[in-house]
Amino acid sequence: MPKEFRFYNPPFDRLTAEERATFTAALDIVFLKAGETVIPPGAQPDQFYVVIKGLVQERDGREVVAIRGPEDSFDSHSLVHGPHGHAFVVEEEALCYAVPRPIVLDLIRANPGFGAFFYLEISRKLDALALQAEQRQLNALMTARVSDALLHPPSIIDGDATIEQAGHRMRDLNTNTMLVRKVGDEADGAIGIVTGMNLSKAVILNRRPLDTLVQEASHFDLVTVRPNDFIFSALLLMTRHDKRRLVVQDGDTFLGILDEIDVLGFLSSNSHVVADRIERAANLDDLHAAAAEINRIVETMHHQGVKVRLINELVAELSRKLFARLYAFVAPESLAGQACLIAMGSQGRAEQSLRTDQDNGVILRQPVDPEDLQVLRDRFAGTLLEFGYPPCPGKISIDNPLWSKPLAAYRDDFRNWVRTPDKDAPMNVAIFYDAVAVAGEADLVHEAKHALFDLARGNSAFHAHFARAIDSFVTPLGLFHNLVVGKGERRDALDLKKGGIFPIVHGVRSLALEKELEETNTTERILRLGDLNLFERSFANDLIEAYHFMLELQLKSKLAGRHKGLPPDTLVRPDDLTTLERDLLRDALYVVKLFRELVRHHFRLNVF
């Protein structure tokens, strides 16, 4: 028997020390016999229970709707909202903690973070994680290291170089700061620092000639930090010594220069710094360096507790800027005014967290020189591959002629996909429907989508055939609301993308296509569909929150696998989740089941 209650499990980890003492003082341990009805249907419980060992069924009439095991609790709903029709019956002899209802209600009123758990709606339950996320963000910022931030390369120039030579060197290296090695009889190998502003002031304000030695415009009062020092310590050093830059040094080795703007940028995820690097990239090497920062930003933001939707939107924005800049570098001049670069799939929907498949294409206003088009295909796809964007397994990329052709050819394909569809037609329509313009002539995407709308309008058989893909995978939620894991190598995990995320994405996409919506983001589509009264606002909120919660779990799992050197997958292991996360996942998958039924009914999938 446990000697003390485990407060580290949500939502009890939100209780203050004083509240924990109150909770503990009221705590009792009760023994429940197999077959015993703990809470009859229609009754309001006098106590709140947390299972220590054994199993307790939640029943709706004769149907078992859920089973509560160790560290699960019951019944939060009737405790707050009053009696309902469910009963709680002991399936297997159990020990439970029991806390009187008045004590729990007092804690709910006093502590919003704790109280949010006791509301039925998944959107309210997810609010219970907000305080924890904020605390995680603060902890992450307080423990971040200098090595986690963006460092500028430690370019060193000898002090007897001229100001003019130093300026040209900065331009060639695309940097604004260099280290200077002092020369002369009393130099002693001293290292200083010089910036572009120092050079400008020397020449313009102090009227020094261009052949002045660069060391005369440099500062030799360096302030250094080590890579393992805290970011906040670096910021304090900058403030204390009135410095905008610190030199990062490991022993006698100079690792780089830490700029004030990079420190502040890191504390706000560093995204604007990367965006600026993309915009200022003078060549493909510069662009490659910026691309390498995107996944690191995702990890930083996730560690700081930033919501997954904001992470996805930021990654989409950075990726689109990157693609647009790359397009400007590699597109032949003959395509100017004749083409639109598009992002599709999760990139088009702004729902990609980590940098993964390429998912891009191009629409041409009219046929162009085949050699020029091939140059674009090869250069664009090949460079992204070098940048770490793997080729799409489904070949949804610009180097596939299916996704890089004139608008007229797209229209011909739409006609075939809608009127005489083959097995690939629904997914091809889905891929293109998620497309957004990234660079070039954006009106081509608008024209193409309206051509698709015109062909599909009123064609109920097509829309039903398109929507049927929501049943491609089974939602991993069992008869008793238990999480269903796979078999064989996947016996401890469930595929969250196939069983939970995809049905929402494609179901929403199917409804949006029928309504000819031009939004591509799933959340924005849900909100628009709610405005059109396809479902209640409360259900729209639950659908959005369920979707975001599953995206959050998927990202968390991918990042954990990445740190272990594992290849990316879409599996989530329930044993790796907290009790609250498992509870929320069951709620989220139940919302998925309800939504699939709504889509089936709307498109009459039992008829077509």
Separation CA 135–CA 305 (nearest Å): 8
Backbone angles phi, psi at 184, to 5 degrees: 125, 175
The reported pLDDT for the residue numbered 117 is: 65
Picking from 356, 373, 352, 353, the residue whose alpha carbon sits closest to that of residue 364 is 373
Whole-number average pLDDT of the chain: 85
The reported pLDDT for the residue numbered 513 is: 97
Residue 412 reports pLDDT greater than 60? yes
Percentage of the chain surpassing pLDDT 70? 89
The reported pLDDT for the residue numbered 138 is: 47
Residue 584 reports pLDDT greater than 60? yes
| Secondary structure (DSSP) of 450-475 | HHHHHHHTT-HHHHHHHHGGGGSS--
Domains of the chain plus CATH, in order, are 12-117 (2.60.120.10), 149-268 (3.10.580.10), 333-414+431-442 (no CATH), 467-603 (1.20.120)
Among 26-35, 259-268, 472-481, where is mean pLDDT lowest? Answer: 259-268
The reported pLDDT for the residue numbered 129 is: 52
Picking from 201, 193, 149, 202, the residue whose alpha carbon sits closest to that of residue 175 is 193
Among 67-81, 137-151, 191-205, 353-367, where is mean pLDDT lowest? Answer: 137-151
Residue 153 is given by DSSP the state: -
Residue 143 reports pLDDT greater than 80? no
The reported pLDDT for the residue numbered 586 is: 85
Separation CA 80–CA 98 (nearest Å): 16
Summarize pLDDT for 263-309 with one digit per residue, the tens. Answer: 766 655 556 667 777 888 888 988 888 888 787 777 777 766 677 78
Higher pLDDT, 400 or 489: 400
- 257 within 8 A of 247, measured Cβ to Cβ: yes
Average pLDDT over residues 210-220: 91
Separation CA 458–CA 480 (nearest Å): 40
The reported pLDDT for the residue numbered 406 is: 96
Residue 551 reports pLDDT greater than 50? yes
| Secondary structure (DSSP) of 413-444 | HHHHHHHS--TTHHHHHHHHHT-EEEEE-THH
Mean pLDDT highest for which of 111-115, 255-259, 297-301? Answer: 255-259
The reported pLDDT for the residue numbered 441 is: 94
Average pLDDT over residues 146-175: 87
Percentage of the chain surpassing pLDDT 90? 42
Query: Residue 11, preceding bond cis, omega within 30 degrees?
Result: yes
